[in-house]
Amino acid sequence: MFNLLKGLLFGLAYVAPIGMQNLYVINTALEQPKRRAYLICAIVIFFDISLSLACFFGVGQLLTTWPLLKLILFAGGGAFIAILGWQLIRSTTTPLDVASPKTAFKYRTAIMAAFAIAWLNPQAILDGTLLLGAFRASLPGLSGDLFVGGVAISSFVWFTSLTTIVSLLRSQLNPKVLMWINRVCGVVMLGYAVKLLSNLVQALL
């Protein structure tokens, strides 16, 4: 149980800092009905846990072995995240618009976005591999399984709590504030995209 708790605490410390997944969950909770927000939250949790498991069991080695794969992820991830960021900056959607039958929402796009944010960032994969791989080396067998189980639980607890809190607070925010939150999230995502694409350029030089 100690290793489970250690994994839970590590997972919370790892996922809590503001990153693309948190921004995506926050924006979804602000713009979409609660049922849809929780469904997207579950999708984000799925991809986050799958990435943590992959890092724990050493998928980062693939990026080291096949440099071309890293380049593809830099290019694809950077481009896709840039598109998401630009869409957020241009978005004028508010909670009042969500109930409208004209709302343009596609689950396929949402799933692709959740996947891209988690899996199309080779730096996150490598960092996760270094951090989780170190625990894997020191916690063999059942101890390691309990630890990574705690990491998975932390992902569920964090993103579900974040969705709940933002969904409850959004009614207190006026449309103009929501629009600026969208734009700030979009700018941050564009920053991530620039970083990924700059890594691509550096890798090609």
- Using one digit for the tens of pLDDT, what is the confidence trace for 93-116? 544 343 333 346 678 888 888 898
pLDDT (0 to 100) of residue 96: 37
Instruction: Please name which of 107, 28, 81 lies closest in space to residue 191, comparing C-alpha atoms.
Output: 81
pLDDT (0 to 100) of residue 61: 67
- The whole domain housing 151 covers 2-204
- HSE-CB at 98 with a 13 A cutoff on CA atoms is 18
How many Å apart are CA 62 and CA 148, to the nearest integer? 20
Instruction: Count structural domains, the chain.
Output: 1
Q: Which of 6-20, 77-91, 100-114, 177-191 has the lowest mean pLDDT?
A: 100-114
Top pLDDT among 34 and 89 is at 34
pTM: 0.75
Asked if pLDDT for residue 149 goes beyond 70, the answer is yes
**Mean per-residue pLDDT, 171-199:** 76
